[in-house]
A and B are shown apart, each in its own frame.
Chain A
Amino acid sequence: MFAPDVPVTGRFERALREDGLIAVGTSHGSMSAFSVEQYDVSARSIAAAVTSKERRAQFVPCQPKSETEFDKACASKFVQQYGGQLFRRPLTVQERDRFVTIAGAAQQKLGGFYKGLEFALIGMLDSPQFLLRMDRSEPDPAHPGAVRLDGWSKAVRLSYFLTNSTPDAELLRAAATGELHSEQGLARQVERLLASPRVEMAVRAFFWDMLQFDGFNDLFKDPSIYPGYTVAAAADAQEQTLRTVVSHLVQENGDYRDLFTTRKTWVSRPLGILYRMPVGTRNGWEQAEYPASSARAGILTDVSMLALHSHPGRSSPTLRGKFMREIFLCQRVPDPPANVNFSVVQDAVNRPGSTARLRLAEHNDNPVCAGCHKLTDPLGLTLENFDGAGGFRAKENGVSMDLSGALDGEDFVGPQGLGQALQDNPGVPACLVEKMYRSAIGRDIAGPEEPVLEYLVGRFESSRFRLPQLMRAIALSKSFYAVQNQTGLVLQKTVAVAKKGDRS
């Protein structure tokens, strides 16, 4: 809202993930004392920067008439301008007065007009109206007795869904004039936002959430086993996949299913070491292709996916299979039973000739375990030629591996066979539709919404699985704006996808 270099110094608490999506968890997650403390830290750093000597000309819309006396008119202008953007609607008279009063009192106590503005801005940034998204309803003139979302609430929904950010000035204008209540007016704004580069941010945030990249916060690899896997490489690995997703789905308007087979990708120098690929660009990114002779194709063979779902010192066909079922097919793999007897799995990780397939086969002699491992392992074992950090390996413990696998009765071999199987599986796009819709509405799907999903799956299919078309269909659907709770407002944390600050 201000400038990219305005510092945000607070640390954001880990978001709550529910049924695979943080976007859904934010509707239930609470605000701990820790998070409010950290929001306040951020509020103060932002406000200090915005009102600083160097920046006030850029951000403050007027100059005080006097050095010493409080300029109420200018303070009001500042409060209304930023209050409107932060609260995503015009301030009420009481709200405006409250923050102008803060500015006056702060100036009196601390001296200086800009000190006053600084604290008025802190007040707005600490307010629940900013930190929480609140849906407001109003009587629906088209359906007497019923209610609808008011224009600003619609604008907020639309904006977070299509740009992962707060409504811009044009959208707030459309909210104020009531244009968002008409089909044409809404369509105009949807088209405008879909055409803007900001839609990439929304797609990126959605996939960061869906792919559960927050898991990288707790991910460690043993440096003596995987010397190439560094913090920088891990950050680049996530970026690689997100770049691939965004460029394929948004810039090239590609078929979602092709993400599982495309050789096109992005690389940086640190990644070049992991992939053993030459990278010309010194600092930054370049588009590349996995060579046809390599085992890699599709995002499932990206280092990010392979490393995230492995142990610190070895791969895990079970974790990999579980994540594919849960993330791309919306299936649930049960937790292992508590009283598993692993004594049949004798040592063996580094035993010459031992492979994951053999170790798991021993384990699966036990019918209690076999049930779930049948779901996970046939998928995960096809990726066994990638180690726990996502590096390629031809052999494990000196022997070559059997990379055969199966999904829903279809047999295939190796990572490319796996990518093809996912590309062909109708459950994959249907799962994406479900996740994107749930992410957009920020809650789980209610029973009566099943037909909405069917409709959206149909639209996605007829667009040949173009993501922007799916986003358009959701943004124009009536159910997207449905009032969930007729009696009250629905709260959602604004910081839906929070990145952690600097931690040593």
Chain B
Amino acid sequence: MSQLDRRSMLRGIMNGAAVAMALPLLDVFLDVNGEALAATGQRIPIRFGTWVWGCGFVPERWIPTSEGSDYVMPADLEPLAAYRKQMAILSGFDVKLDGVANKPHVTGTLGLRTGVPVPNETVRAPTIDVLMGEVMGQGTRFRSIELSASGIERSYSFRGAGSPNPSETSPLALYKRIFGEGFQDPNAEVFAPDPEVMVRKSVLSAVSDDRQRLMKTLGSSDRQRMDEYFTAVRQLEQRLELQLQPPAKVENFTVPKAPGKTVVDAEIGNVMENHKIMAGLLAQALACNQTRVFNMLFSDTASNLRRSASSDTHHTLTHEEPVNPTLGYQEQSAWFAAQSMVACRDFVDALAGIKEGSGTLLDNTLLFAHSDCSIAKAHAVEGIPMMVIGGAGGRVRTGFHKAGRADSAARVGLSIQQAMGVQVEKWGAGSMDTNRTLTELVA
């Protein structure tokens, strides 16, 4: 891949994404060496997603005692041991508050996802998944897909303040949205463009005819909102345009069956089950190019997970459970933290279970897993646990533990973007602001 590709795309983004939109699939988001060709002759795209769990960790059960590649796998990461080589453990990176009030469970999450600490949900920059979607989400049916496993509809994916992308909470609703109406089986024998889709597309373009005239009559803040509307309409139009093209063939893909009805709530057994089903559906959706960007909220940042018949949630336990004097930590809270890593393994399993070219979907994905705080009891935003899992088509290096030593957490966000080919030299604000790439991470 040449420098020129990067620059031309950047220009495209600056001029309103016109260039990036016009091209079906930019080389920059294909495998670096062009090696990963699927059996169908298509090159395999790279995907990006985040996986969030709430209420942090028990440091002595999660942080490896040494850095580098020869660390001893800590107790709570044991479920992920099979992925040791495909995972980078990042400990000790801080969200720097600079005097900003720490809104429990929110400031840490959004601080590390935007590089700017905020005292509430009024983000001051888009979250990293949206930045990534801007450049790699083009040309797929969905710009990104948001999921939440514990029944809470929110996400930590923000385009701007006041516009979080809502999450799907039910496996069945997720299935209908992706594989229901409008889905085209990439391996179908025959392809016939649907004339209704053509008409719908022309309807949307007629609706957009008013854009210029309306924009002129509006004040600046309303103009921005109207612009968001027209951008969303344009995205819908592009999706219909895709439906009029024969989809690229996908190896090893068969349309999944609809999941049964499940109980959607915060009881951890149900959450684990729904999470697993949604992870499987998402992996299939990624495999057949429905989206390249995703956000999975395993548990909300103020985790409402609970065990059946218990009056406590994971969150209330972190505050109210006494420390077990023998163990030196809160035993029940620790159980939830450990379960969160089991769930993370389930998610990675789903990606690793899909064959692509000579590897798996996981090899072509960069999964950024993180929590909202380190020690939930104190809502500490110093040393929030983070992991980078997957190969990103050879763009990241993994297989090590790196201790941040109170460095800015924005270094991680910056490095991930750079690894994925986003042209960005510095990221974050105030003490978070950094131009220092984590060289260990970027291939």
Contacts and interface: CB of A to CB of B under 8 A. Distances in A.
Interface of A: 11, 13-14, 16, 25, 28-37, 40, 44, 98-99, 101-102, 105-106, 109-110, 119, 122-123, 126-129, 131-132, 217-218, 220, 222, 224-225, 311-314, 335-336, 338-343, 345-350, 388, 485, 487-491, 503-504
Interface string B207-237: 1011000100111001011101111110110
Contacts of B261: 504
* A-B pairs, 5 with minimum CB distance: A313-B311, A338-B102, A488-B219, A36-B232, A338-B379
Contacts of A36: 229, 232-233, 235-236
B203 A342 contact: no
B200 A122 contact: yes
Interface string B122-155: 0000000000000000000001000000011110
Contacts of B322: 343, 346-347
Contacts of B170: 503-504
Nearest to B309: A224
A109 B199 CA distance: 8
B23 interface: no
B153 A217 contact: yes
Given A33-B236, A489-B217, A503 B173 contact: yes
A34 B166 CA distance: 8
A336 B306 CA distance: 22
B166 A13 contact: yes
13 contacts: A98-B206, A99-B206, A119-B203, A128-B207, A220-B151, A313-B310, A313-B311, A313-B312, A338-B104, A340-B378, A347-B321, A347-B322, A488-B219
B165 interface: yes
Contact of A220 (B198, B203, B233, B265): B265
Contacts of A129: 210
A305 to B, nearest CB: 20
Nearest to A33: B232
Interface residues of B, number: 74
A126 B234 CA distance: 12
Nearest to B107: A338
B266 interface: yes
B207 A311 contact: no
Contact of A343 (B103, B163, B199, B323): B323
B235 A33 contact: yes
Interface of B: 101-104, 107, 143, 151-154, 159-160, 162-163, 165-166, 169-173, 195-196, 198-200, 202-204, 206-207, 209-210, 214, 217-219, 222, 224-226, 228-233, 235-236, 261-262, 264-267, 304, 306, 308-313, 316, 319-323, 377-381
B103 A338 contact: yes
A311 B313 contact: yes
Contacts of B162: 16, 25, 28-30
Nearest to B311: A313
A462 to B, nearest CB: 38
A37 B202 contact: no
Given A122-B200, A312-B311, A349-B320, A336 B195 contact: no
Nearest to B218: A488
B222 A489 contact: yes
B110 to A, nearest CB: 14
Contacts of B165: 32-34
A343 to B, nearest CB: 7
Given A126-B233, A335-B104, A338-B107, 11 more contacts: A14-B166, A106-B199, A127-B207, A313-B312, A338-B379, A339-B102, A340-B378, A349-B320, A488-B218, A488-B222, A491-B225
A334 B196 CA distance: 53
B203 A32 contact: no
A86 to B, nearest CB: 13
Nearest to A105: B202
Nearest to B224: A30
B103 A335 contact: yes
B204 A126 contact: yes
A105 B199 contact: yes
A350 B321 CA distance: 12
B318 to A, nearest CB: 8
A339 B378 contact: yes
A128 B160 CA distance: 20
Nearest to A130: B207
Contacts of B230: 128
A217 B229 CA distance: 26
Contacts of A98: 206, 209
B310 A222 contact: yes
A503 B264 contact: yes
A487 B219 contact: yes
B222 A490 contact: yes
Nearest to B169: A503
B200 A119 contact: yes
B202 A102 contact: yes
B151 A218 contact: yes
A417 B131 CA distance: 54
A123 B203 contact: yes
A503 B319 CA distance: 33
A30 B228 CA distance: 7
B377 to A, nearest CB: 7
Contacts of B222: 485, 488-491
A118 to B, nearest CB: 9
Given A110-B196, A312-B311, A14 B219 contact: no
A131 B379 contact: no
B312 A30 contact: no
B320 A342 contact: yes
Given A491-B225, A503-B264, A109 B195 contact: yes
Contact of B219 (A11, A34, A106, A485): A485
Most interface-central of B229, B323, B377 (chain A CB within 10 A): B229
A388 B143 CA distance: 40
